Chain A
Amino acid sequence: MAATDRGHGAPVTAQHESPGERSERPAVLRFAASGTTRYVVGRILKAFFTIYVVATATFFLLRLLPGNPVEVYINQQIAQYGMSYQDAANQAAGLFSFNPDEPLPVQYLNYLAGMARGDFGESLLSPGSSVLSQIGAYLPWTLFSVGTALVVSFLLGIGLGMAMAYRRGSVFDHVMTFFASVTHSVPNFLLAMMIIVFFGVQLELLPIGEMRGSYSPGVTPEFSIAFVTDVLYHASLPMFVYVLTTLGGWMLVMKSSTIETLGEDYVTVARARGLTDRRIQFQYVGRNAMLPLFTSFVLSLGFVVGGSILVEQVTQYQGIGFLLFEAVNRRDYPVLQGILLIVTTSVIVANLAADLLYSRIDPRVRITGNGGRS
């Protein structure tokens, strides 16, 4: 996936990869030789395996490579507060939820056991609050803002992309293609910056100071119209940025997918049968053209959590990206480790969902998968 890690670039992925994507499915399926059940079980096992590998990699990254943060922390405590090594090590053990005196394999097992219980240790930044509760406080805002924006841009992109394909070569198509190319090549956080600098500072149209945070200071979080409007007001800038920077990608992929579908035999047959244009457009072309996009839509849901870090930093929206930045700045390793794991897990789960859904909505995958290619 060439661009998925850019957060706003998920659609680009499908566009450049759609030729490979479908031919690749059967190969992925090969090890689940027969039956949908085996396929499903296989995919779920693979997802767990991936999570396990990432967790393990994080563990060793944190402890084995030179200049490991635990040692740094212990040395810092000794230097700053004149603690004995034992005291500092004990404190570090509490914070990083491991005991540095234990042999590495034991540490590793404890770490995995803690993870299985959902225990990621405690934050260095604010002692006493667990990593999980911190993530829980910031994550919902990201899920809400990026998730909504993603749905909006997906629906808009599908509609516009189809319209572009049907009016291929027209002024509308050219203008929209230009618009799409420009918006999806601009990095999302730079777009946010430009909006703030141009509309906020130069023209003074946007009250950027007021729009920071995920809701206004005086408002109590409750389910009321006032609160919801306030939340939308604060989320509007990041959401606008997400929609604008992802829209172009969906449009272009949908356009090329529609054009490809229009060339299929069954569309010609449908035309020959004298079906109405409307019916062909939606039931025959639209539905099939959407298939490859659907996978990348589910996939990009996984990147919802991670793709927002830079935009949230620029717009000062208090989501998971904001927390990540704080944690990076103050070297809050347990929180970093927790975020990395949560984000990766969400991507893996979305991947799993995409694979399972895809085999459901596109029966061809199952047929070729069961038939066994070469």
Chain B
Amino acid sequence: MTQILDPSATEFKAPPPPDEPRVGVFRTVLRALMRSRTGFVGFLVLLFIVLVCLIGPFFTPDNVPTDVSKQFAPPSLAHPLGFDNEGRDVLMQVINGGRPVLFVGFMAALISTVIAVVFGALAAYLGGRVDSLIVTVTDIVLTVPGIILLAVLAAFYRVGSSWALAVILGVLGWPGLLRAVRAQVFSLKEREYVEAARLLDLGTTRIVIREILPNMASFILMNFVIGMTNAIYNLAGLYLLGLAPMEGDNWGIMINFAWTRGAIFYQSSFFWIMGPVLAICILQLALVTMSRSFEEILNPRLRHN
């Protein structure tokens, strides 16, 4: 019955066994992805999107040329997604427009993951006053819905660049991850090997970095990927509202323009709007699938068979 009285005792299910102390993050990732078929498919799709977005722009003009005779022109074999209201090829824009989205999503997730891991681990490991201070701050930041705060902020201060956008999204995205990291470190620090390290007087920093964090690699990765999906959602939302820097090719800007400049009035413009919309949806789907396969590693009971 004690188990039922103290749910925290059964909390942490399967930490990767610490028998391979130098398992790199990379190998953990690969192992996680190979184990689940859907996760691997998600990974391949993501890889494809990343490659197209990184390499593709070398084969398309930096400024997709406008052609007045082709305004709202329907798709053809040479231009499979048709043209927009200025007569620019939609497919080229889709290829060019992925890089900033991936960049902002990645950087924002990186920033919030770093904040979350550092302060979450500190809170859980040090406990006491530091813990309650960090928890209070987290609770407060958590109560403000991100997209609304972003909208209000963006109305006050024009966001100038992708970098600024990534920083803002990252700085607002950490509370959820922090709580999760804190809870994990709480249960990990009770483990024998951490206790052993403490008895050996190895020092807090060392214990956290060398003993605790490596055992959370897939957990952190899972949350990193979730952070990326959140950042991309908010990013697309800000572009839809017209609150992000509206220059260059970018899926978010494409959606905004297609939506507000007539794509919904012409049946031939179907792919002008669906191109970027589907691109973002597929990217999100790939990321979510990957995060789920990381989760299955952490929680083996979810696995099929």
Contacts and interface: CB of A to CB of B under 8 A. Distances in A.
A298 to B, nearest CB: 14
Give chain A's interface residue range (CB within 8 Å of chain B): 35 or more
Interface in A15-34: 15-17, 19-24, 26-28, 31
Nearest to A5: B146
Contacts of B304: 168-169, 173-174
B179 A256 contact: no
A13 B301 CA distance: 19
Interface stretch (A153-161, A181-189, A230-238): A181-189
Nearest to B6: A368
Nearest to A8: B233
B101 interface: no
B34 interface: no
A245 to B, nearest CB: 11
Given A197-B270, A328-B241, A2 B230 contact: yes
Interface in B268-305: 270, 273-274, 277, 280-281, 284-285, 287-289, 291-292, 295, 298-299, 301-302, 304-305
Given A19-B11, A24-B182, A186 B148 contact: no
Given A3-B226, A186-B284, A309-B147, A24 B241 contact: no
B175 interface: yes
A366 B112 CA distance: 33
Nearest to B288: A185
Contacts of B264: 196-197, 200-201
B259 interface: yes
Determine chain B's interface SS by DSSP, over half rule.
helix
A190 B281 contact: yes
A210 to B, nearest CB: 15
Interface in A157-177: 168-169, 173-174
Contact of B148 (A20, A190, A340): A340
A12 B288 CA distance: 10
B140 A185 contact: no
B270 A328 contact: no
Interface string B170-210: 00100111011011101100000000000000000000000
Contacts of B145: 4-5, 7, 303, 305-307, 343-344, 347
Given A4-B142, A187-B233, A16 B223 contact: yes
Interface in B73-102: none
A364 B265 CA distance: 57
Interface stretch (A59-67, A108-116, A137-145): A59-67
A194 interface: yes
A165 to B, nearest CB: 10
Most chain-B Cβ atoms within 10 A of its Cβ — which of A5, A19, A309, A351? A5
Interface in A332-374: 333, 336-337, 339-340, 343-344, 347-348, 351, 364, 367-368, 373
B147 A340 contact: no
Interface in B214-248: 222-223, 226-227, 229-230, 233-234, 236-237, 240-243
A166 to B, nearest CB: 14
A310 B144 contact: no
A127 B152 CA distance: 20
A164 to B, nearest CB: 11
Nearest to B277: A190
A301 B298 CA distance: 29
A313 interface: yes
29 contacts: A1-B176, A3-B229, A4-B145, A5-B146, A6-B234, A13-B176, A16-B226, A16-B295, A22-B8, A23-B183, A28-B135, A46-B139, A54-B144, A68-B156, A174-B304, A181-B38, A187-B237, A187-B281, A189-B237, A190-B255, A263-B301, A302-B143, A313-B241, A329-B242, A333-B156, A337-B152, A339-B152, A343-B145, A347-B143
Given A24-B179, A347-B143, 8 more contacts: A6-B230, A19-B11, A23-B11, A181-B289, A306-B145, A309-B241, A328-B243, A368-B5
Interface of B: 3-8, 11-13, 38, 131-132, 135-136, 139-140, 142-149, 151-157, 172, 175-177, 179-180, 182-184, 186-187, 222-223, 226-227, 229-230, 233-234, 236-237, 240-243, 255, 259, 263-265, 267, 270, 273-274, 277, 280-281, 284-285, 287-289, 291-292, 295, 298-299, 301-302, 304-305
The 10 residue pairs across chains A and B that have the minimum distance between CB atoms: A20-B183, A306-B145, A5-B146, A2-B176, A185-B288, A23-B8, A1-B176, A23-B11, A22-B7, A328-B155
Interface of A: 1-7, 9, 12-13, 15-17, 19-24, 26-28, 31, 46, 50, 53-54, 61-62, 65, 67-69, 168-169, 173-174, 181-182, 184-187, 189-190, 193-194, 196-197, 200-202, 256, 259-260, 263-266, 302-303, 305-307, 309-310, 313-314, 324-325, 327-329, 331, 333, 336-337, 339-340, 343-344, 347-348, 351, 364, 367-368, 373
